[in-house]
Chain A
Amino acid sequence: MSDTLVIRGVEFRSRLWVGTGKYRSFDETVKAIEASGADVVTVAVRRVNITDRKSENFLDYLDLSRIKVLPNTAGCYTVEDALRYSRLAREAGVSDMVKLEVIGDEKTLFPDTAGLLAATETLAKEGFIVLPYTNDDPVMAKRLENAGAAAVMPLGAPIGSGLGIRNPYNIKIILEAATVPIVVDAGVGTASDAAIAMELGCDAVLINTAIAGAKDPIAMAEAMKHAVVAGRLAYRAGRIPKKLYATASSPIEGML
């Protein structure tokens, strides 16, 4: 039973993707990634420290033959910046894949969807595999897909909020209409949130803060791994419908 996620010909062994920000040390980052079983890690594009060349890079500690590096455009508030960072990321990395963020508001980190759509269109035309981070808005998800997004990454809740999947019905509608993979990005707080995203039928979940910010990030990474696997299996197994009243599981026949 093969259940591999494929995005534009790129195969993913894991449906859990992890971010690499906010960890306390490189060592913890690497151990958490290992425990999560993820084969995708997101990274940001930042200036090299040219005055202190001894500063290490955590990528030196990852097995890059096994783990895909997915650059993001975190921190970009304009289309121009997002395009600039994406183009730099392509030259710094090994693939055309980019997790596109155009942030619209500092406090909520909600996406600027108008800018996101424009940037998606431009980058798709330049041959990028664009994975835009967007709202849980079915109309925008479809528009991003039509603009050339290779997958769409709706938020479950604001980045780093840990509020879980706030609008499962919207995610469900997005999934119904989508012909590209849907990856929930942002909002997961604990394992059950990740399981819910997968039970809804999402193709993958991207988690950073819920793991990095947990009291024991390595244990939480493992919990997330199991939650994503369990959620995916439950989705494929097909859950029973929800009903208001009881249905007996034991036979009535043969009772005294």
Chain B
Amino acid sequence: MKLRVNGEEYLTESATLLDLLGELRIAPERVAVEVNLKVIKRADVPSLSLREGDVVEIVNFVGGGAPVISWAVWGYRQVAIYGAVGGRE
């Protein structure tokens, strides 16, 4: 069966979501899964069957605050700030 998993085409024999997670060696309790844009409740993971063409997204938590501001932007802003203060005072 052909699926789309995390943006990539994926061929599998797994008929259920639980089997797919097992095949990928992913512990179900550490992730959240979306199938065809529908978030799957944790309790529903074991009973969910997969169908040809399903779009599956598997996510977990990663270190994160905000997206990194590039140094180029920072440099620009620094200049802009000093410029503004100098101009006003």
Which residues of A are in contact with B by a Cβ distance under 8 Å? 19-23, 26, 29, 42-48, 50-51, 53, 57-59, 69, 71-72, 74-75, 84, 87-93, 101, 107, 109, 158-161, 186, 208-209, 212
Contacts of B57 in A (CB 8 A): 47, 88
Smallest Cβ-Cβ distance to B40: which chain A residue: A91
Q: Bound complex: CA of A51 vs CA of B10, how far in Å?
A: 11
Q: Bound complex: CA of A53 vs CA of B5, how far in Å?
A: 14
Q: Bound complex: CA of A29 vs CA of B31, how far in Å?
A: 21
- Which of B33, B58, B65 has a CB less than 8 Å from the CB of A19? B65
Asked if B67 and A109 sit within 8 Å, CB to CB, the answer is yes
Contacts of B30 in A (CB 8 A): 57, 59, 92
Asked if B65 and A59 sit within 8 Å, CB to CB, the answer is no
Asked if B32 and A89 sit within 8 Å, CB to CB, the answer is yes
How distant is A183 from chain B, measured CB to nearest CB, in Å?
Answer: 14
- Which of A29, A89, A109 has a CB less than 8 Å from the CB of B69? A109
Contacts of A158 in B (CB 8 A): 69, 77
Contacts of B74 in A (CB 8 A): 160-161
Asked if A21 and B40 sit within 8 Å, CB to CB, the answer is no
Smallest Cβ-Cβ distance to A93: which chain B residue: B61
Q: Report the 7 A-B pairs with minimum CB-CB distance, sorted nearest first.
A: A44-B64, A19-B65, A208-B65, A92-B32, A91-B32, A20-B63, A43-B61
Asked if B5 and A160 sit within 8 Å, CB to CB, the answer is no
How distant is A132 from chain B, measured CB to nearest CB, in Å?
Answer: 14
Offer 5 A-B interface pairs, CB within 8 angstroms, sorted by A. A50-B8, A50-B10, A57-B60, A160-B68, A212-B65
Asked if A74 and B64 sit within 8 Å, CB to CB, the answer is yes
Q: Bound complex: CA of A89 vs CA of B47, how far in Å?
A: 21
Contacts of A58 in B (CB 8 A): 62-63
How distant is B65 from chain A, measured CB to nearest CB, in Å?
Answer: 3
B73 in contact (CB, < 8 A): yes
Smallest Cβ-Cβ distance to A60: which chain B residue: B30
Q: Bound complex: CA of A29 vs CA of B57, how far in Å?
A: 27
Asked if A92 and B59 sit within 8 Å, CB to CB, the answer is yes
Asked if A92 and B31 sit within 8 Å, CB to CB, the answer is yes
Q: Bound complex: CA of A109 vs CA of B70, how far in Å?
A: 12
Extra contacts besides A90-B32, A158-B69 (18): CB < 8 Å: A19-B64, A26-B63, A44-B61, A47-B7, A48-B24, A48-B31, A48-B58, A50-B6, A50-B26, A51-B8, A58-B62, A69-B61, A88-B32, A88-B34, A89-B32, A92-B32, A92-B59, A160-B66
Contacts of A29 in B (CB 8 A): 63
Asked if B67 and A91 sit within 8 Å, CB to CB, the answer is no
Asked if A92 and B60 sit within 8 Å, CB to CB, the answer is yes
How distant is A48 from chain B, measured CB to nearest CB, in Å?
Answer: 5
- Which of B41, B67, B69 has a CB less than 8 Å from the CB of A74? B67
